[in-house]
Structure 1
């Protein structure tokens, strides 16, 4: 069912964005005006119209959003690929309650588009592994997601 467009997150996508997961984020590069794509994992749907995510406060993403708020989150879920577009803004320049210096960013969703090409479906979603101390990674992930929920 490719090319379906919604004004916000459908229930299955809202549920998919209730915990850490792999997505890509596209912003407008503040230096070139071209696209800038990054992988992000600390992401949380606050409601059907709002997605929160965190990045290192020195990330180029922060300056890109400060100069141009247009952003797109690419999510692979529900056997398809979705483009979640909207306007991003810095919600908290320094997220409290976590040991890293992270910036919390809010994306106000304009539209959610199923962008999977016709006649196909995703058979295996992307997976990743943390390459550093598993216990430390799990603890940090919990801290970040809890801080995001409180924001």
Structure 2
């Protein structure tokens, strides 16, 4: 990794989320809410279809930072707000989540603030997504 300064952009990352990913995540998280696997239930509660778990979406966005750092242990803090769901169709394509990030601040203690943007269908799905990371020496 070259020198990191405020304004450094992370390499963009596109991630496809498919229904099979939702099943695996449900098993790992024990979140079997039917809005994450049943179209009828999702639509009955006013959703446009089955949606990805919010924490799965946040984890996918975190990959942008861990891929860049090369070590997930370098993330010291990570937070985000869920502002729009990722609707996952029942097909082989899934939903495309487009991720970008930028170093907003490099601190004297060797840490940095990274602002993350996560979009689905051109619209933000996470708000105020921020990771505080320890930079490699």
Task: Report the TM-score when normalising by structure 2.
Answer: 0.29
- Flag the structure with more relative contact order, 1 or 2, with Cα contacts below 8 A and sequence separation at least 6: 2
Higher helix share: 2
How high is the TM-score relative to the length of structure 1?
0.28
User: Which one has the largest radius of gyration?
Assistant: 2
